[in-house]
Copies of this chain bind each other. A is one copy, B any other.
Amino acid sequence: MNDPLAHVRALFDLDDDVVYLDGNSLGAPPRAVAERMAHVVRHQWGRRLIRGWSEGWWEAPQRVGDRIGRLVGAAPGQVVVADSTSVNLFKALMAAARGSDRAEIVVDAGTFPTDGYLARSVAELTGLALRSAPPDRLELTERTAVVLLNHVDYRTGRLLDMAALTERAHAVGAKVVWDLCHSVGVLPIELDALGVDLAVGCTYKFLNGGPGSPAFLYVPTAAQPSFEQPLTGWNGHREPFAMAEDYRPDPGVARARVGTPDILSLLALDAALDVWDGVALADVRAKGLALTAHFMALVEDLSGIEVITPRDEWRGHQVSLRHPEARRLTGELADRQVIGDHRPPDVLRFGFAPLYNTFDETERAATTLAKLL
């Protein structure tokens, strides 16, 4: 099969005997990262010491944020890389819900657990109700302050229609917060064009930033003046080095920053993003659909297997299979160098990262699974 991304795999440090299909959980390391890390430690931290802060470190959350902005359809100055996805969800939901004269927060019922936990916490702090609803029956009304949606369901791989759902939220005057953890880096996203209110996402899955690399938060320019969140750390201050007694937020996206940014992880992510140079998301999307379609076709008739990922285009770049022995199978596949993961109780997940996964690997994975069954 023609693969316009075939040359990108060489940019990753992956063993050829491993079929790594868990990039939707932890992306593989781009080769440039290890050397960049050593450089940052030895030459920036070691030689420049405190001066590093005025030589690029301080602005790194916004600079790297802009690089991610290009992958999610956000013009510069609207994305900041900082903290974890969970912390960014808290900021986003608090900013959207606090002070609202509406009654409820709505979350996608298939939401990744942390999204639901944070939404519950924000509901308690703001006095709003929390309602969980399936994405095809959200029932948004003028009581709805904000709806939090996962662009791709982490269990099934189902992809939501961001354009339609954003429009539906706006039609009743509700705000929408999108969680892009499982979609950033696998398909074209148009946050600005769709008028999305707020979005968060992680960088250690399909962006390959490294284990636990810092997450990102999108606050569109028009929403920045009213974006108020309670984690009022000094990095979000308008004049952080004035050491003023009162908190006055930065006028721009930096108001979404909290504490001192984690420079080693942030610059590892920065290095990891270099693999995107010259890569078109349309090619990534096309290859991801092809890889997942190929895999589904190879495994759908295997004994005891139920494919729960949508067959149509409304899927991300993972294939989820239901099998009563999912846990055992995941372990036995790993013993045979085919690495996916298991989500309880009975789901096997296989992520397909078009930047490094190949059609050959897809076949090796399917063949290995077939032998085990």
Contact = CB atoms under 8 A, between A and B. Distances in A.
Interface stretch (A22-30, A158-166, A184-192, A300-308): A22-30
Contact of A210 (B38, B264, B339): B264
A244 B113 contact: yes
A262 B86 contact: no
A343 B120 contact: no
State the oligomeric state as a number of copies. Answer: 2
Contacts of A86: 231-235, 258-259
B45 A210 contact: yes
Nearest to A347: B243
B243 A84 contact: no
Contact of A344 (B52, B122, B243): B243
A247 B117 contact: yes
Nearest to A36: B41
Interface stretch (A138-146, A212-220, A311-319, A365-373): A212-220
A300 to B, nearest CB: 25
A224 interface: no
A116 B232 CA distance: 9
A31 to B, nearest CB: 9
Contacts of A42: 13, 29, 34
Given A25-B50, A49-B28, A242 B344 contact: yes
Contacts of A213: 262, 264
A118 interface: yes
A294 B131 CA distance: 64
A41 B30 CA distance: 10
Nearest to A47: B15
A204 B262 CA distance: 10
Interface in A323-366: 334, 339, 341, 343-344
Given A50-B341, A262-B214, A33 B25 contact: no
A259 B343 CA distance: 18
Nearest to A247: B117
A90 interface: yes
Contacts of A83: 83-84, 87, 259
Given A28-B49, A34-B38, 7 more contacts: A22-B49, A37-B37, A37-B264, A83-B87, A122-B230, A211-B260, A213-B264
16 contacts: A28-B46, A29-B41, A51-B339, A83-B83, A86-B231, A112-B234, A113-B234, A113-B244, A116-B245, A125-B230, A210-B263, A212-B259, A212-B264, A243-B344, A264-B265, A265-B265
